[in-house]
Amino acid sequence: MKLMRYGPKGNEKPALVDSQGRVRDLSGLTPDIHAAMLAPEGLRTLAEVDVDSLPVVANPGRIAPPYSGMGKFICVGLNYADHAAESGMPVPAEPVLFTKATSALVGCNDAVVLPQDSAKGDWEVELGVVIGATARYVSEADALKHVAGYCVVNDISEREYQLERGGTWDKGKGCDTFGPVGPWLVTADEIADPQNLDMWLEVNGQRFQNGSTRTMVFGVAQLVSYISRFMTLYPGDLISTGTPPGVGMGHKPSPVYLKPGDVMRLSIAGLGEQTQKVHAWDPALIDG
């Protein structure tokens, strides 16, 4: 299934995408797609729905994050060897973990708003892994059984905040609007191999990132198992698994950073496409 939500902020409706690519409204069956519905029993219930009986939404308008109630937004850094190299950092011996604030979460096509005095905004197309079954000290062999599905994430960063102002990476990663997710949550049964997904990202029509999950240092099963040793993972928790090379910080001969008016497009095979326009600081774009 391809699960999604649509509508203005604060008034989102649940939906799924049928085999013809049409949006089908689920609000007659449930008021929302909440994180708790991503548990195995919830997904089984949704899978039994007669899709053809659901109303077609001709013009869904804004596409919201594909589910509500995210508990944790966990990210993995330097998880592609060639991205580590372009960042001037060694390939890690263990996964590098950090978090994005859940307040960074926005819909896949929502405005990206640069924070005040931002000078080094950057992009990162990433595979998102959504937890469906509670995971605590799970083995790699069993890890994928705890995954509800997958989605596209743009792990937007402010590199000066992240790398030049001391402390951890979080303050350069968790700014408002720095976590576009969606358009869909594609359930795990539709993704035969999460380690064989092509991905790309463009800025203003120029292709900067062109990679594949095949080249991850730590694969999805490894990451779910590893992270579950340090924190319990609950339905709706999102793991953003790292980015391939081609970020603005690593561009040669000189870095390229986001500026107001830029347009990012990005996609992962089978998981849909995102488009975001970059804006200067404007709280109305965040709260509206």
Residue pair 185/195 in contact (Cβ under 8 Å)? The answer is no
Residue 91: what pLDDT? 85
**What is this structure's pTM?**
0.97
CA distances from residue 108 to 5, 246, 263 in whole angstroms, order as listed: 11, 20, 13
Q: Domain residue spans in the chain? A: 65-287
Residue 114: what pLDDT? 98
Residue 82: what pLDDT? 80
Residue pair 247/209 in contact (Cβ under 8 Å)? The answer is yes
Residue 81: what pLDDT? 84
CA angle at 201 for the pair 195 and 127, rounded to the nearest 5°: 30
Q: Which residues contact 288 (CB under 8 A, 6 or more apart)?
A: 9
The CB density around residue 117, as the number of other CB atoms within 10 Å, is 9
Cα separation of 162 and 174, whole Å? Answer: 10
Residue 122: what pLDDT? 98
Question: Average pLDDT per run of 10 along the chain, which is 288 residues long?
Answer: 97 97 97 97 96 97 98 96 81 94 98 96 98 98 98 98 90 97 98 98 98 96 98 98 95 96 98 98 92
Residue 211: what pLDDT? 96
Residue 181: what pLDDT? 98
> Which CATH architecture describes the domain 65-287?
Alpha-Beta Complex (3.90)
Residue 156: what pLDDT? 98
